[in-house]
Amino acid sequence: MGLPPKRGTRRAASRSAAFSAAVLALVTVLGSGVPAGAVSATAPGAPGMSSAWTTGAKRGVGTSTTLESKVWHTLGQGILNEVYYPRLDVPNVQDMQYVVSDGRSFTELERDATTSRILLPDSRSLRYRQVNTDRDGRYRITKTYITDPRRSVLLVRTRFEVLEGGPLRLYALYNPSLNGSGMGDSGATSGGTLVASDGEVASALAASNGFSAATSGYSGTSSDGYRDLRADHRLDNRYDRADETGNLVQTARVPVETDTTFTLALGFGGDRAAAKSAAHGALANGYGAARHEYDAGWHRYLASLDRVPESVASRGLTTQYNVAAMTLKSQEDKTYRGAFVASTSIPWGGAKNADSCCTGGYHLVWSRDLYHTATAAMALGDRAAANRALDYLLNVQWREDGSFPQNTWLDGEPHWPSLQLDEVAYPIVLAQQLGRTGDAEWTKLRKSADFIVENGPATPQERWEEESGYSPSTIAAEIAGLVTAADIARQHGDRQAARRYLATADEWQRKVTDWTFTTTGPHGDGEYYLRVDDDGDPNNGNQLCLNNGGGCHDERAVVDAGFLELVRLGVKPADDPAVLDSLSETDDRLLVRTPNGPGWYRYNHDGYGEAAGGEPYTGTGIGRLWPLLTGERGEYEIASGDSAGTHLETMARMANEGYLIPEQVWDRPSENGFVFGEGTGSATPLAWSMSQFVQLANNMDAGRNLETPDVVARRYTD
């Protein structure tokens, strides 16, 4: 794929190709890796020190809109983080950054020594730019990231400026973690290119102006190039091979002067030769041509969507809306079409060991998250994406008994083994809303509806994936699933199935309050919905032990706002007495007014978040505020006939400078390196958060919640 050549440029294109070939030859000569007279050697020290992933707090994400380029990148802390290839569930890079030295007195990582800004030079393209300025004012590094639309190559256009003092040296420090692990890599210098491999994944790092020195070694050992630089401020040990597998690091000197612009190419392939060919092909084609094609792809995508909602445009949030739309598209795999991951991140990844494959992180597919992404795609006007999502649900994740796994790798293999009944219901709701009610769909969805009838209403896990029992949010999804299934059954003339589903849904709709609404609670007037009840008796005060380090509590003491799903899905009206009774107790326990606006905890006593001192979550912690819950509250306000403008603006303000909305934001006055009302080290971007922003904006324009199934609302609330 590509842009067609303009008339009269054929000869110019030939000259350009010849020039590119000459440049490539020059790059190979300049980047021979080991200077003349140097002795090649094999790196000692394998396997090196243990490896880890990086923070889940991404400031930028990117990929081409084309299917040929099967590479995705993430940015954070002023540097490059995980890079995914050839699928979105295979991370291959811990990080890549520059090292700066004067060759005499200092050597420093740009991540640690600079202040960083991230910019979006084109508000209609996922092309991010990092501007890192030395805290001592000596240099500035400006990096702009794209992926080559024609190849699986990440291109980093770099400008290095010496701002003060004498000449400085610049080194590229690349820490691969290929094929989903950090301890299985080996590498070498090949024709001026640093190549590495682990199983069926290989990488190649090259520069448009070549490398004047290069080395491959093992992290933390005598062969580690960065360790050499720290010791002697120069790259003395040059190992052209690291043959044993381990925690590989590769270091190369980039020739620079006081103001130099060049391009790094990080290519991927099934073997080293393929990765090297891709990297050099991208350099020969040129950054400018790739950037033009990359931007044009995103421009075309945004142009294909519906008009930006007035609620967005009037508030100056168009860029935030466009980035949400592009980010959601970027979370779709290019091999398993319709597989949108929850996030291209590993929450608190710096605390997650990467020595062995395969850390799931959030680069997996949850049926529930995929439903939210698909409904957001419908709101955007991208029904094709929503249909691909349903295809994936039915053709990859659906099981023969009608159930769906808790989550899966992209090929459908389950990762976490539990069952969540809302995830069985949402595909039925999605199919009905898409009008996908033919024989092929109904054959499978009927089994899913039967599964809900036979196994509900209590669920092995509710939507927060931690507890079993009677959950208002799960029961709301089950009822919506059964009513939409009955509608499909009627279309197929299956009146018996329709009656069964509606009878069950009606019974659960009548009883959900009896099962989950306490009248003897310790908060407020004692009358409110619980987060989850173990046995359908919300007044018996049984113990609820939270499976994330949150401790054990009287189940009546633990509240969340999941009951609002009853309203969103049309199961209860917004002015239902039990709903109204529950708002004050949940707000008293869960609402925090941040500098960016109102935020809500998932539930009180939540342990899924940073520790009290700000340390990463490793099994215990303190749950922080979730921006998507601000959006859900906004949808409730719409259902109540009130304004949700504050909630939309709050979600936008909780996004970072890359316009990415996090999973969690910090919940108290700034401390431990976190900012009150801004993202933590959990997962950014979270597709569910970005979807919720898109949904809320469109619902505000419509004056109603568009994802509320009409057949459910007509039955219970209209």
Instruction: Decide: helix, strand or coil at residue 76.
Output: strand
Q: Is residue 201 a contact partner of residue 179, using CB atoms and an 8 Å limit? A: yes
CA distances from 293 to 15, 43, 148 (A): 20, 40, 8
Sign of the alpha-carbon dihedral angle for 453, 455, 457, 460: negative
Q: Are strands 153-162 and 259-269 parallel, antiparallel or unpaired?
A: antiparallel
Tokens 């009008």 — which residue? Answer: 435
8 Å CB contact between 335 and 63: no
The CA distances from residue 378 to 282, 299, 691, in Å, are: 35, 19, 10
Q: Which of these, 402, 413, 692, lies nearest to 565 by C-alpha position?
A: 692
- Comparing C-alpha atoms, which of 96, 177, 110 is closest to residue 352? 177
Question: 499-506 — which CB contacts under 8 Å span 24+ positions?
Answer: 500/453, 501/449, 501/453, 502/715, 504/452, 504/453, 504/456, 505/478, 505/479, 505/715
* Residue 400 is a catalytic residue: no
Strand partners, 600: 591
CA distance 598 to 369: 23
* Contact in structure between 608 and 548 (CB atoms under 8 Å): yes
CA 600/CA 605 separation, integer angstroms: 13
In angstroms, rounded to a whole number, what is the distance separating the alpha carbons of residues 219 and 247? 6
Determine which one of 332, 423, 462, 585 is catalytic. Answer: 462
Measure CA 716 to chain center: 36
Dist. CA 583–CA 561, nearest whole Å: 8
CA distances from 233 to 221, 226, 236, 580 (A): 16, 9, 9, 66
Q: Report the alpha-carbon distance of residue 244 to residue 484 in Å, rounded.
A: 57
b/e string for 39-61 if b means 16 or more Cβ within 10 A? eeeebebbbbbebbbbbbbbbbb
Closest CA to 130 of 108, 97, 152, 99: 97
Pairing of strands 60-62, 114-119: unpaired
For residues 514 and 503, give the distance between their C-alpha atoms in angstroms, rounded to a whole number. Answer: 17
Q: Tokens 């939540």, residue? A: 606
Nearest Cα to Cα of residue 212 among 252, 239, 250, 251: 252
The region that residue 348 occupies, defined by phi over 0 for left and psi between -120 and 50 for alpha, beta otherwise, is: left
The token pair that represents 510 in the structure block:
């009548």
What is the chain's Cα-based Rg?
27
Q: How far is 517 from 509, CA to CA, in rounded Å?
A: 13
Relative to beta strand 153-162, strand 169-176 is: unpaired
Question: Cis (ω within 30 of 0) for the bond into 685?
Answer: yes
DSSP state of 167: -
Nearest Cα to 484, choosing from 710, 718, 635?
A: 710
Whole-angstrom distance, CA of residue 531 vs CA of residue 517: 9
Secondary structure (3-state) at 244: strand
Whether the Cβ atoms of residue 578 and residue 650 lie closer than 8 Å to each other: no
Active site residue 465: yes
**Which active-site residues does the annotation give?**
462, 465
